Amino acid sequence: MKFIDEYRDAQAARQYSDSLRRVTTKPWTIMEVCGGQTHSIVKFGIDELLPPAITLVHGPGCPVCVTSLELVEKAIEIASTPDVIFCSFGDMLRVPGISRDLLSVKATGGDVRIVYSPLDALKIAEENPAREVVFFAVGFETTAPANAMAVYQAAQKDIHNFSLLVSHVLVPPAMEAILSSPENRVQGFLAAGHVCAVMGFWEYEPIAAKYHVPIVVTGFEPVDILQGIYMCIRQLEGGRAEVENQYSRSVSKAGNLPAQKLIGEIFRVVPRKWRGVGEIPQSGLGLQEKYSRFDAEARFGLVHFTADEPAECISGLVLQGIKKPYECTAFVVRCTPEHPMGATMVSSEGACAAYYHYRKKS
């Protein structure tokens, strides 16, 4: 497959692996920000190809994992309401709330539907004018343009029975939260290629400068990731802290300007709770005042609803790269994909699930 096969080439991977062994002279810890990158690393066994001095930690870039328990509970509450059609991306359905998930809501009669785009949810709203249709708007900057477009079109078409349960999160504030933590061990970042395809990478330059940390915008295929790590190690070994772009086939410094404009039209920056981490200031998107009529939380009276997370789960520390999944006492013993305690075990992109599936027996 074009644009896939060449980035899964064993010889190219081997070359980067050899180069990394040559240039690495001391231990380094690098975080890949995005859950898609974590998935690729574990699925293809990329870390096996790295010299032992390089440690990868898995960052908070899985939108499914970082969606707060509170929002999952709100989703379950809305989806259980009679006459509501609740639409979501597939992997949010298995995220555990306090006592159940959206799949169980579906099994007990809730109309919960998997869609591939928020515009599909909008179409469902148009086709079912007598019912409330709610879309679970989860994701980083990557999914924000499509979600913004759904609201924009709903406003244009004057559709009253459509709303968003907004759970948008932003990457740069999360990186800053990690870097400013006293426990931080991350020395370099692979930034998420898809997020940067939308936002560009100008936002990362002040972070690289302030914390003196190299940031390499990186793609998702094995050769992309190995090259990203190589670029990051070269900087670390050379004492540099710059923003570099490995994923230049998709990402420009400015990013996708029409998409950014649309995001700005519909959304504003708000504080956001991250599952396992807590609230990070200015780290999420909420609807602008003039689009607040599309806010499902307000529509269903859930603005002040709160929920506390289980104490035993260390998914927050895993998300921040402070602990590895197997350092958790519950991992595999009390926490499995069948009975997950935290969302990092639920999503196929979650660090705990990735470790469970691909490493369990080795």
Partner 1 sequence: MASESKNGNAFICPIPIEQYPNVLLAHGGGGKLTHQLIEKMFLPAFGNSILGARHDGALLHLPSQQLAFTTDSYVIRPLFFPGGDIGSLAINGTVNDLAMCGARPLFLSAGFILEEGLPMDTLWRVVQSMKLAAEQAGVQIVTGDTKVVDRGKGDGIFINTAGIGVVEARQAISPANVRPGDAIVLSGDIGRHGIAIMAVREGLEFESTIESDCAALSGIVLDLIGAGIELHCLRDLTRGGLASALIEIAESSCLHFEIEENTIPMLEDVKGACEILGFDPLYVANEGRFISFVPARDVDRTLARMRAHPLGAQSCIIGTAKEGDPGLVTMRSRIGATRVVDMLSGEQLPRIC
Contact residues toward partner 1 (CB under 8 A) are 1, 4, 8-10, 13-14, 36, 42-46, 48-49, 63-64, 89-94, 103, 114, 116, 138-140, 142-143, 194, 222-223, 336-338, 348-349, 356-362
* Least Å from the CB of residue 308 to partner 1: 25
Q: Name the residue type at position 10.
A: A
Interatomic CA distance for residues 122 and 93, integer angstroms = 19
* Least Å from the CB of residue 348 to partner 1: 6
Smallest CA-to-CA distance from 228 within 19, 5, 2 is with 19
Using an 8 Å Cβ cutoff, are 352 and 335 in contact? yes
Q: In terms of CB distance, is 163 or 347 closer to partner 1?
A: 347
The neighbouring-strand residues paired with 167 are 138
* Least Å from the CB of residue 81 to partner 1: 22
User: Exposure string (b/e) for 229-245, b if CB count within 10 Å is 16 or more?
Assistant: bbbbbbbbeeeebebbb
Q: In terms of CB distance, is 36 or 173 closer to partner 1?
A: 36
Q: In terms of CB distance, is 169 or 213 closer to partner 1?
A: 169
Q: In terms of CB distance, is 13 or 151 closer to partner 1?
A: 13
The neighbouring-strand residues paired with 235 are none
* Least Å from the CB of residue 201 to partner 1: 18
Element (H, E) at 286: strand 278-287
Q: Is 289 exposed, middle or buried (0-12, 13-18, 19+ CB in 10 A)?
A: exposed
* Least Å from the CB of residue 155 to partner 1: 24
Q: In terms of CB distance, is 135 or 211 closer to partner 1?
A: 135
